Amino acid sequence: MPRGAVPLWRQLHVRVALIVVAGLVLLSAALLLIARHYSALSSLEATQRMNLGIARYIVDHQDGTLIDAQGNADRARMKALALHVMMINPSVEVYLLDREGRVLAHALEGLQGPDPVGSTVDLAPAQALLNTPVDVLRFPVLGDDPRRAGARNIISAAPIAAADAPPGVLPGAMSGYLYVVLNGQALQGVTASLANSDAQREMLIGLLLATGVAAVLLVLVLRKLTRPLRELTLQVQAFRPDAQRGSGPATGDEIEQLARATQAMRERIDEDFARLDEANRLRRELVSNISHDLRSPLASIQGYVETVLLRGNQLDEATRDQHLRTALRHINQLDRRVADLFELSKLDAGRVEPQCEVFCMAELLQDVVQSYQLAAQQCGVKLALAAGSHAQAKVRADIALIERVLQNLIDNALRHTPQDGDVTVALDAAASQIQVSVTDSGSGIAREHLPHIFERYWQASDETGTHPGASAGLGLAIVKRILDLHGSVVRVRSELARGTRIEFGLPQAG
């Protein structure tokens, strides 16, 4: 998977499509269940409506009564009836009930299971059937099934006249009911048969197909709809490519990605503003510092040159020489200051790209120490390369910038070390790092000053007094920025009146 690509199942359109399809499947299942329920009900209703008169028909076609004057069932008749019914409609079960609904007899051929005779049937549904006009009845009317305790089924019922009653004077003179369970063996089968019905199978297949087609259409439509979102995310991500870098495959759907990209963009904008503010502040500070710093050397140059020009013929040659030399020294300081400022502003603006190459650190140290010997002698300080600093360790760094670091450190050390003091440059090659240190036996730096010495323009308060115009507090700021560029950390150890050791490390090359 390409970096930054979202796995298919996490993409927004696929997720939404999956949710909608799951909803559709649930809806289809609910529809199927409802359809099954109502088709079972309507099938029962149709059967009941069709066979509503069956009980009355059976009673009317008996040439005698089924219950005698003592309330006993005529079992012979019932048996004959059973055969009849069996032949005409085997799914129908005929029972003879007394007035309270107790089963007196049945017309079930080859009965299996418990004998229903003696059990009681709730008469309310039967009476509802008998006493309510058909157009008002709510079908299907379900009554107790005497053979199956607790089960209910569609029924037909008719009253049976008492043996001695004159014909036609029902219901007062009745001896019981003929109670017909219309759907006897078939009831449990109704739902089962409906489940297997072709119509339902076709409906199921239709629903599945429709759901499938809907899912595909949804994915396509949603994909099209969410494309602008993905494009927007890409555009926002492009704002901060570094935030995406190294993050491996993207996580979250498009909206989560967009949220992250927007957050990264906001951070980037905040950083840019902070950088701009800082750059502005530095620029303002720089301008005021430069004008302040350059004024005093310029003033003294101006003073000496004017003196030579105006009073040249009154001065002896040695004094004139001396004045011009002093002016030249100030010009050199000025030159150095401007160069430092220029270098620091380039470093601050990130315009310095280190030109790294592999070189032998010991050789560089030797060269720099050599070039400072004269200055050291003038200060009366012993400047030396520590014994054992001749290892052939190689580093990969910008040689000119590292040379600048060493110059600034040695320059500071010489300036802060009294006569007869020592300044030692040392190289320590460990396994993967080489450590370079400049140690002096000079004045040291007060503990509370240590956190500030790398700030630009920072100098200990006594500094400007002792060497007016000689230094500007830029040297260590330049050191810090150059070492930052090399990913190196600079460490300082110092003790007042004992000396200072400034050290940095660089990775060994090869």
Ligand X SMILES: Nc1ncnc2c1ncn2[C@@H]1O[C@H](COP(=O)(O)OP(=O)(O)OP(=O)(O)O)[C@@H](O)[C@H]1O
Query: Could you give the CA distance from residue 146 to residue 122 in angstroms, rounded to a whole number?
Result: 10
Q: How far is the CB of 338 from ligand X (least distance, A)?
A: 12
Contact call for residue 473 and ligand X (CB under 6 A): yes
User: CA triplet 449, 336, 477: central angle to 5 degrees?
Assistant: 30
Q: How far is the CB of 255 from ligand X (least distance, A)?
A: 51
Query: Could you give the CA distance from residue 243 to residue 105 in angstroms, rounded to a whole number?
Result: 89
> Smaller CB distance to Mg ion: residue 146 or 475?
475
Stretch that binds ligand X, among 30-38, 171-179, 354-362, 457-465 (CB under 6 A): 457-465
Binding mask 237-276 for ligand X (x = CB under 6 A): ----------------------------------------
Contact call for residue 477 and ligand X (CB under 6 A): yes
Contact call for residue 144 and ligand X (CB under 6 A): no
Stretch that binds ligand X, among 6-14, 17-25, 71-79, 467-475 (CB under 6 A): 467-475
Query: What does the binding site for Mg ion look like in residue numbers (CB under 5 A)?
Result: 412, 475
Q: How far is the CB of 339 from ligand X (least distance, A)?
A: 11
Contact call for residue 460 and ligand X (CB under 6 A): yes
Query: Could you give the CA distance from residue 348 to residue 59 in angstroms, rounded to a whole number?
Result: 114
Binding mask 337-376 for ligand X (x = CB under 6 A): ---x------------------------------------
Q: Which of 134, 143, 154, 126 is nearest to 59 (CA)?
A: 126
> Smaller CB distance to ligand X: residue 254 or 340?
340
Residues 314-333 that bind ligand X (CB under 6 A): none
Q: Which of 120, 118, 133, 127 is nearest to 159 (CA)?
A: 127
What, of Mg ion, ligand X, none, does residue 413 touch, CB below 5 to 8 Å by kind? ligand X
Contact call for residue 463 and ligand X (CB under 6 A): yes
Q: Which of 243, 248, 237, 238 is nearest to 271 (CA)?
A: 243
Residue 128 CB contacts under 8 Å (≥ 6 apart), including other chains: 137, 141
> Smaller CB distance to ligand X: residue 456 or 486?
456
Long-range contacts formed by 16-25: CB under 8 A, 24+ apart: 16/218, 16/222, 17/215, 17/218, 17/219, 17/222, 20/214, 20/215, 20/218, 21/211, 21/214, 21/215, 21/218, 24/211, 24/214, 24/215, 25/211
What helix, strand, coil percent values describe the chain, rounded to 5? 55, 15, 30
Q: How far is the CB of 372 from ligand X (least distance, A)?
A: 14
Query: Could you give the CA distance from residue 259 to residue 251 in angstroms, rounded to a whole number?
Result: 12
Contact call for residue 159 and ligand X (CB under 6 A): no
Output the residue with the shortest Cβ distance to ligand X.
475
β partners of residue 179: 95, 157
Whether 257 and 240 have beta carbons less than 8 Å apart is answered as no
Residues 431-450 that bind ligand X (CB under 6 A): 440, 442-445
Q: Calculate the CA 494 to chain-centre distance.
A: 49
Instruction: Tokens for 311, please give them.
Output: 């009073």
- Count the site residues for ligand X by CB under 6 A: 23
Q: How far is the CB of 351 from ligand X (least distance, A)?
A: 20
Query: Could you give the CA distance from residue 75 to residue 96 in angstroms, rounded to a whole number?
Result: 10
Stretch that binds ligand X, among 62-70, 238-246, 298-306, 475-483 (CB under 6 A): 475-483
* Residues at the site binding ligand X, with contacts judged by CB under 6 A: 340, 408, 412-413, 416, 440, 442-445, 453, 458-460, 463, 471-477, 500
